[in-house]
């Protein structure tokens, strides 16, 4: 039976550990409507972001699972080489009716997650939807796990000026 990449998992231990060690999660929609999750960390020596893990899938839950599973694998090892770990999808799918996270990404919005050591929480931010936007604002939410932070961000509607928020964390 193939792995279920349509439903969310209880935990994402590799992602959570990477975030606790200073990485950043960035999720977005590709040009082909695939959901993409990138885990990056700033290299202090070069001053550039290094890609730690990557996942893409027709649904956000699948991209998140791939990113959690595939630390250290190249794109080819994951998707395109002979014997690749996952199927290589060319386009994304319609959003699942019950999945607010996938619908958010499918609408072309991005999601970013970091870990705030001072708060002991995962912090999720996303741009305010266009029809609600005033000026340089974000929605944000926090929780002790990644999924909780996503949901707190998208469902709580805590608006804040992006620069003011970044000063606080």
Per-residue model confidence as pLDDT tens digits over 65-123: 999 999 989 899 999 999 999 989 999 988 888 899 999 999 989 999 999 999 999 99
pTM, full prediction: 0.91
**DSSP codes of every residue in the chain:** -----SS--S--HHHHHHHHTT-EEEEEE-TTS-EEEEEEEE-TTT-SEEEEEEEEESSHHHHHHHHHH-TT--HIIIIISTT-SS---SS--PPPTT-HHHHHHHTT--EEEEEETTTTEEEEEEEPPGGG--SSEEEEEEESSHHHHHHHHHHH-EEEEHHHHHHH-
């Amino acid at each position: 039976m193939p792995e279920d990449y349509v439903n969310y998992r209880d935990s994402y231990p590799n992602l959570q550990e990477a975030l606790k060690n200073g990485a950043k999660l960035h999720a977005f929609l590709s040009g082909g409507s695939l959901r993409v999750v990138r885990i990056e960390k700033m290299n202090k020596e070069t001053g550039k972001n290094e890609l730690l893990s990557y996942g893409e899938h027709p649904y956000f839950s699948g991209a998140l699972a791939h990113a959690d599973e595939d630390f250290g694998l190249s794109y080819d090892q994951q998707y395109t080489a002979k014997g690749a770990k996952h199927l290589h999808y060319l386009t994304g799918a319609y959003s699942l009716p019950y999945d607010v996270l996938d619908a958010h990404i499918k609408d072309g919005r991005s999601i970013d997650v970091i870990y705030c050591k001072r708060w002991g929480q995962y912090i999720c931010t996303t741009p305010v939807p266009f029809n609600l936007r005033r000026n340089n604002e974000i929605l944000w939410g926090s929780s002790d796990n990644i999924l909780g932070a996503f949901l707190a961000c998208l469902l709580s509607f805590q608006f804040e000026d992006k620069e003011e928020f970044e000063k606080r964390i």
